[in-house]
Structure 1
Amino acid sequence: MLETINWIERYFDEVTDAVFIFKEEHLLVSNQLAKDLEDELNIDPNYLAEVANTSVKQKLSPSDDCFKCSIRNMMKEISIPITLANDKPHPLEYFLIYHVIDADNHVFSLTLKSRGIIERMDQVAQQRQLNQYVNRAHEEERKKISADLHDSIAQGVYSAIMGVRRLQEEHLDEASTQALARIIERQLTDTLTEVKGMALDIRPSVLDNFGLLPALRVLAQRTEENSGIDVDVVGKANTDQLSTNVQSVLYRIAQESIHNALKHAQATEISILLVAHDHFINLEVIDNGVGFDVPKHRQFNGRSLGLMNMNERVKALNGSFEIISAPGNGTTVTAKFPVTSLKGEH
């Protein structure tokens, strides 16, 4: 038992956060880091306790004067932003964590955690989560391409090979030979069309050769042909000054937005607007579909994964991304990039 107490005391002294434990407003014990901060920054622990209790009272807004009763019924822990060493060249920003240990006797701890460290940890965690989502999206795309290659392209090529073998191995008359040759040619033509379609989905050559606006018009035409849905493209933007990366992202946003409108929104009309202003370029994809509750789709499913992927691609290039939608009111997806920051990018 004594050894266990020694371990607890050692951990308490070596923990990387400053910890103060109070009863009422009286300091009972503090760890080594708390004592060091007390000396170096001239911190009064009673001041910290006063700040914490004031914040707790404000958060609780008790209807009576029974503060201990309120404490007993409150959440076990709250976080209070606080800045120390205001009189120094570099003030220190912390979170003051108020934790209830014994509500009946009003024993509580105050822990000082560096806001910078917490924010960096949050950023690392968010980046790891984002990497997982992006990797999942890439893996799903690879699966789709693999399935298309196997189910469609490979089968078409295999059928053509079997037809060629028949031409080589069987003694067919002239009419049968010509008929089989036409079948093989049709199979190869269909397969070539599918290959071109896959290549266009992955990256349209018109985007590289002619720019964003023509690529959006080709995308709209293909969508109309394949789905029967009306897709209009309206634009007066000269996209020559846009970097290749930005044009690619804007194209992908239009592509993903159209995909969502067809798959999820039951839209019958889609409009793509591309407008250049003095300092930014703006893309809007508007559909008249059933719409959706945007906050609910922040949970990660197939649809929100595509939306998050779009959002992160835009943010990575210093753009802004917004989705406006509500059940029954359609959806508008907007991406905006500052033009000045794009010049010179490659």
Structure 2
Amino acid sequence: NLHMVAHAGISEHLVDSEHCLKMGECLCGAAAAHKLTVVHDLRQMDETNTMQCHREGFVTVSVFHIHAHEQHLGFFNLHFRQPKIFDRREVALLETLGQLLGIAIENMRLANREREMAVSEERNLVAQGLHDSIAQGLTFLNLQVQMLDDSLQNGNLDEAAEIVPALQAGVQESYDDVRELLVNFRSRLAEGDLIASLENTVAKFERQTGIATEFIADADGAPFPREQQLQVLFIVQEALSNIRKHAMATKVEIRLTDRHHFALTIHDNGVGFDAAILRSQSERHVGLNIMHERAQRIHASLAVTSETGNGATVTLNLPYEQRLAA
């Protein structure tokens, strides 16, 4: 079926009668079925009296196709109350208009698909983060509950009393993890300003954790798109989340340099880890994998370095060649 999606200058009665046509039905449907550009002089047609457009006072009806990349997308009509003969230049102009409309429609469809893919990818990252937080938390809580059950069955109330605070702490940590993930997911750039958004993120992290955090920005480069800026913000949030949960740090330094190239480092003075072990167990570290995926989205490189007892450093580099214009 053919559906009318926009109109101007025709009556509601005509809209109602032709809002949905079968292919091959009426003049427009017949032209659409054969994918032809057609100009009809209604005065010369035998079935004129049966056509609603003629009863509305139109004497010339034209049909021009909307297409892109050899794909037929629809058509548009021009109705005239006076006889109209199109010369070759007018026909060429209107056919070009049909091509431009087709390209515009196709671009809108592609943009919608891209947004759908972005939403799907973002949901996948959130799902990974939730799985990481909840799975670890529930595993710990399950072990504690089993220990509590054993203690109660054995009548060891002192041991049970020691387990209860650990259970409470585990529940609170799981709650904090999920809340943090959801808050980060809803993050938006502060008026499109990455620096201001990072300052807000750092201030909130320092306030909630008590970890002294310094943010140093040397930013004089050209602005880049919101999508790239948002991914940088999300990477910083994920890195700070990992520090909160694992590093046992007392100090964090975030340094941003944005000139010809863009570089960001996040360093903590925590317990660190063995980088070789981390690489061998990469599938278990969802947070790090999420940061790598976000970096890949904006064509940046991300590296995590650490030594046991010497903290850890996350480095994000976005070369000038990969920077998109805002």
TM-score interval w.r.t. the shorter chain?
0.3 to 0.5
After TM superposition, the score normalised by the length of structure 2 is 0.44
After TM superposition, the score normalised by the length of structure 1 is 0.42
